[in-house]
């Protein structure tokens, strides 16, 4: 191909097509990039994703030499790569790597829909994935396979497949449905891999012994495999969002939330409720910075349904299938390492003799109601409190009913008042974790005539260390 045919971008700026609705990828190529389309057809490549809502040029030295397309959510900045193509003479210039890095630093970690064998080899080359055996690759970037493109050596309901593993022998994304019995799900052959990697020949040689070998490899190396993926994920150049970026500061909504309100995706009242819930969950350690956008999307989309059901482990909060190495649920955004017992450990020393019990149980009641207000299921909230405080549910339930804090599995008006005026609410809200809670609580109760914030400021006046002064400045 002559360079005179290439579209020139003097400033090296990508042209981007973005829409709430879907584009036809072939239409875009035909109208704007006929020379790229011609090369695709010459190579006999069939595009995996026929539609997209984000189309981006790939630029090399001021020339448009390829493209990539995504299924993209503009509200929540999540992207699933469904096509990537670079003209043959411009391959080897790390354009795919640069695109992935740019996406991660500007938005969030993408997933890849049905990666080809070549794409997986490039992920290994760029350090986003790693060969963990002669033929098995572990990837920090998730692979998604539509349900109708999934095969299995056992019964499978053709559900969407999500995995971090790829088999180079058969050119397929793979995932164990039942590792004990060696039941594996894997992606159907792609046209590119049939032509360039002769994957059908390898697949025709598959037998039960092949699946048994893979099973034994995963069983014998499960800890090492999970460690490899965790290390790969930790090294990714992912943009770190702050709580303020995602939900807004104390007095304002973030651009994400404002756009949802303006587009009538959510009411102003509901947005206030979700923002409050996210602030409380984040402060409690239930959401990580990496999962803030996912949590926001989950809370705003009340009709969101689980499309992936093929994993043996599930999130204790939303029942979404998860992998053992996951730090957070990729469906609801909750921190999977959230430990109620650890979070509440600072309160355990407040359990004194029988004479102090009425006061102590109010702490447990507060924590229980806090979990419920954050959308945690009743059964899980009960188990968490019983485990953390060695208290029977019947006893806690009796206390809640006597004070009319909790009725018919719902927090009452009195319950919300209790939550919003409890000393622990202010202790958590203003980040006083460096101080002794018991000491703060005694001070708080002895100054109950003041507003909560005023009590916190007065309490901090007792200290002249750097931490206290910094907290006072923030207040």
- Model confidence at 358: pLDDT above 50: no
pLDDT score of 123: 95
The 3-state secondary structure of the chain reads CCHHHCCECCCCCCCEEEEEEEEEHHHHHHHHCHHHHHHHHHCCCCCCCCEEEEEEEEEECCEEEEEEEEEEECCCCEEEEEEEEECHHHCCCCHHHHHHHHHHHHCCCCEEECCCHHHHHHHHHHCCEEECCCCEEEEEEEEEECHHHEEECCCCCCCCEEEEEEECCCCEEEEEEECCCCEEEEECCCHHHHHHHCHHHHHHCCCHHHHHHHHHHHHHCHHHHHHHHHHHHHCCCCCCCCHHHHHCCCCCCCHHHHHHHHCCCCCHHHHHHHHHHHHHHHHCCCECHHHHHHHHHHHHCCCCCCCCCCCCEECCCCCCEECCCCCECCCCCEECCCCHHHHCHHHHCCCCCHHHHHHHHHHHHHHHHHHHHCCCCHHHHHHHHHHHHCCCHHHHHHHHHHCCCEECCEECHHHHHHHHHCHHHHHHHCCCCCCCHHHHHHHHHHCCCCCHHHHHHHHHCCCCCHHHHHHHHHC
pLDDT score of 347: 37
With a pLDDT cut of 70, the percent of the chain lying above it is 89
How much is the average pLDDT of 367-375?
A: 86
How much is the average pLDDT of 62-69?
A: 95
pLDDT score of 28: 94
pLDDT score of 72: 75
Confidence tier at 343 by pLDDT (50, 70, 90): very low
pLDDT score of 350: 36
- Model confidence at 182: pLDDT above 90: no
Confidence tier at 352 by pLDDT (50, 70, 90): very low
pLDDT score of 200: 95
Mean pLDDT score of the chain, rounded to an integer? 84
- Model confidence at 25: pLDDT above 90: yes
Task: Pick the more confident residue, 25 or 2.
Answer: 25
How much is the average pLDDT of 301-313?
A: 55
Q: Which of 15-24, 314-323, 340-349 has the lowest mean pLDDT?
A: 340-349
- Model confidence at 463: pLDDT above 60: yes
How much is the average pLDDT of 35-47?
A: 91
Confidence tier at 354 by pLDDT (50, 70, 90): very low
What is the per-residue pLDDT across 203-218, written as a single tens digit (0 to 9) for each? 998 888 999 999 999 9
- Model confidence at 349: pLDDT above 50: no
What is the per-residue pLDDT across 424-457, written as a single tens digit (0 to 9) for each? 888 888 888 778 787 888 888 888 888 888 898 8
What is the per-residue pLDDT across 393-422, written as a single tens digit (0 to 9) for each? 888 998 999 999 999 889 999 999 999 999
- Model confidence at 77: pLDDT above 60: no
What is the per-residue pLDDT across 224-242, written as a single tens digit (0 to 9) for each? 888 888 888 888 887 778 8
- Of these ranges, 7-21, 145-159, 181-195, 249-263, the one predicted with the greatest mean pLDDT is 181-195
């Amino acid at each position: 191909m002559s360079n005179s045919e290439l579209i020139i971008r003097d400033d090296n700026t990508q042209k981007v097509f973005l829409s709430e609705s879907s584009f036809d990828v072939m239409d875009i190529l035909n109208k704007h990039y006929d020379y790229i389309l011609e090369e695709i057809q010459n190579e006999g490549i069939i595009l995996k994703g026929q539609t997209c809502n984000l189309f981006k040029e790939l630029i090399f030295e001021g020339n448009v030499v390829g493209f990539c397309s995504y299924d993209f959510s503009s509200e929540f900045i999540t992207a699933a790569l469904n096509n990537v193509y670079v003209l043959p003479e411009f391959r080897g210039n790390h354009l795919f790597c640069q695109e992935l890095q740019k996406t991660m630093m500007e938005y969030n970690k993408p997933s890849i829909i049905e990666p080809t064998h070549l794409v997986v080899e490039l992920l290994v080359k760029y350090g986003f994935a790693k060969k963990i055996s002669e033929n098995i690759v572990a990837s920090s970037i998730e692979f998604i396979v539509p349900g109708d493109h999934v095969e299995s050596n056992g019964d499978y309901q053709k559900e969407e497949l999500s995995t971090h593993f790829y088999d180079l022998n058969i050119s397929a994304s793979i995932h164990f449905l039942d590792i004990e019995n060696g039941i594996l799900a894997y992606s159907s052959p792609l046209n590119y891999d049939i032509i360039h990697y002769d994957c059908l020949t390898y697949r025709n040689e598959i037998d039960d012994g092949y699946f048994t070998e893979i099973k034994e490899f995963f069983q014998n190396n499960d800890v090492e495999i999970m460690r490899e993926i965790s290390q790969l994920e930790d090294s990714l150049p992912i943009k770190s969002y702050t709580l303020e970026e995602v939900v807004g500061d104390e007095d304002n909504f973030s651009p994400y939330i404002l756009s949802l309100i303006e587009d009538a995706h959510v009411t102003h009242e509901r947005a206030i409720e979700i923002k409050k819930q996210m602030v409380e969950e984040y402060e409690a350690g239930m959401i990580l910075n990496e999962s803030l956008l996912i949590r926001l999307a989950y809370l705003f989309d009340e009709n969101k349904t689980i499309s992936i059901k093929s994993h043996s482990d599930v999130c204790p909060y939303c029942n979404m299938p998860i992998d053992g190495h996951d730090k957070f649920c990729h469906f609801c955004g909750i921190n999977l390492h959230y430990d109620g017992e650890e979070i509440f450990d600072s309160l355990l020393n407040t359990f004194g003799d029988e004479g102090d019990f009425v006061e102590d149980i109010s702490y447990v009641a507060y924590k229980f109601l806090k979990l419920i207000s954050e959308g945690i299921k009743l059964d899980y909230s009960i188990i968490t409190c019983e485990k953390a405080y060695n208290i029977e549910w019947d006893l806690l339930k009796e206390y809640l009913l006597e004070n009319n804090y909790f009725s018919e599995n719902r927090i009452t008006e009195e319950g919300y008042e209790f939550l919003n005026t409890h000393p622990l609410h202010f202790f958590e809200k203003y980040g006083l974790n460096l101080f002794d809670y018991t000491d703060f609580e005694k001070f708080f109760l002895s100054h109950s005539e003041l507003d909560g914030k005023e009590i916190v400021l007065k309490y901090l006046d007792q200290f002249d260390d750097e931490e206290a002064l910094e907290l006072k400045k923030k207040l």
